[in-house]
A and B are shown apart, each in its own frame.
Chain A
Amino acid sequence: MTAIKDPRLSIIRERIRNVKHVIPVASYKGGVGKTIVTALIALKLRDRGFRTGILDLDLTNPSIHTVLGVDLDTIKPEEERGVVPPEIQGVKLMTLAYYTRERPTPLRGMDLVNAFRELMSITLWGYIDFLLIDTPPGFSDVILELSNTLGRISNPILVSILSKLSIKPTINLYKYMKEIRIEPLGVVLNMISEEEDLKKTFFETASIEDIRILGLMRRDPEIEKAIGSINDLKRTKAYEEIGEIVREVLKIIESRRS
């Protein structure tokens, strides 16, 4: 008899075997618009004809379903030798919210790890081109689990705002990822308004540190009104801007392949 590790760890890779690209969307700081960016990228990829899924790993505050206007009373995963994520206008969505129903869910330590491993080991994604993963802010349980289980086969996008509270942590996280041999696709600068000095500083630092900037998204007051309606989201300026970012992502992926 030998020590037994968690059996679920043996099946997680298998569950994403037919997912071509895993893209966690991460930020060190909260409130930088990660969830919106994740949803818009997924919708744009779907528009371009790619088979796309979203996994919401912000386990104590899942909110992608709110952005996409998912009615938790009528939509739930199907049970078929595992759990099959429902399609929301063609995008597969898996979230803990199907099971916690927007109630307060205090989770910490091993609870977070268990919820992560359970979700990852029972969800059947099937054949998809892109799996976008919305992550909680910061650098703790879920991000560490994600790094350990999918790290090197994933290509994260980091989201930052132009604030002194966000720029340095973003650069640090980017550098740390490279140190553990995770290759980020780049940084999305979100909620830009008139911070010209900060923009200049960030671009200079990014150039010195060899950090790729995928694109900029202006502060868009229409976004808040559009939350809950995919059709309204697609009519925002932000959705146009995300088009440029998606183009850049596809270019990078193509260049890495060749």
Chain B
Amino acid sequence: MVHEWALAEAVVRHVIDIYSDKKIREIRIGLGELQNIDENILLFSLKELFKLNGLENVSIHVRKIPLTLLCRSCGFEWKPDISKLGEEIIEMIHFIPEAVHSYIRCPRCNSGDFEIISGRGVYLEEVVVE
């Protein structure tokens, strides 16, 4: 089982910790493009983990979030095509998205000092409870 399981564990643990006294109906997950998470594996992991915690009826919605970077040096904003980085580098970023700072530079000024404005990784966007 791949490492998406570990990220799903964090989400499920968090939701159960915070809403232990309520009935959890649905969660909404944002999936940032940068981390290249396998949506099906993440969904499977979330469902399994909810089930293991006696919550079989939580519905899970996933929204893909495109990647946008902002150069802190020159202010340039851009949407890099991660798929062009090659499999090995994509895998590095898959584990630790901040590794992107080792492999991408601002196309305008070549700085590696940029901000990930959106599309980093796994976000818990909303929890709907009764």
Known: A1-B127, A10-B13, A11-B13. A122 touches B113 (CB 8 A): no
The smallest beta-carbon distance between B3 and chain A, in angstroms, is 5
Contact B98 A79 (CB under 8 A): no
Give the residues from 1 to 15 in chain A that come closer than 8 angstroms, CB to CB, to chain B: 1-2, 4-5, 7-11, 14
With CB as the reference atom, state the residue of chain B lying closest to A102.
B102
Task: State how many residues of chain A have any CB contact under 8 Å with chain B.
Answer: 38
User: In the complex, what residues of B have CB within 8 A of residue A2's CB?
Assistant: 18, 127
Contact of A111 among B2, B3, B101 (CB under 8 A): B101
Interface string of B95-110 (1 = CB under 8 A from A): 1111101110000000
User: In the complex, what residues of A have CB within 8 A of residue B102's CB?
Assistant: 99-101, 103-105
Check if B1 is an interface residue, CB within 8 A of chain A.
Answer: yes
Contact of B98 among A77, A101, A104, A107 (CB under 8 A): A107
Contact B96 A106 (CB under 8 A): no
How long is the Cα–Cα vector from A115 to B101 in the complex, in angstroms? 11
The smallest beta-carbon distance between A228 and chain B, in angstroms, is 22
Contact B3 A1 (CB under 8 A): no
User: In the complex, what residues of B have CB within 8 A of residue A110's CB?
Assistant: 115
Known: A7-B14, A99-B95, A111-B116. A1 touches B128 (CB 8 A): yes
Check if B9 is an interface residue, CB within 8 A of chain A.
Answer: yes
Which of B6, B7, B14: most chain A Cβ within 10 A? B6
Contact B1 A81 (CB under 8 A): yes
The smallest beta-carbon distance between A115 and chain B, in angstroms, is 4
Contact A81 B5 (CB under 8 A): yes
How long is the Cα–Cα vector from A121 to B13 in the complex, in angstroms? 12
Given A7-B14, A111-B116, 14 extra CB contacts under 8 A: A1-B128, A7-B13, A10-B17, A14-B13, A59-B98, A82-B5, A98-B95, A103-B102, A107-B101, A111-B98, A111-B115, A115-B96, A118-B96, A118-B121
Enumerate chain B interface residues (CB-CB to A < 8 A).
1-3, 5-7, 9-11, 13-15, 17-18, 92-93, 95-99, 101-103, 111-113, 115-116, 120-122, 124-129
Closest 6 pairs (CB-CB, A-B): A82-B6, A7-B14, A10-B14, A115-B98, A11-B10, A103-B102
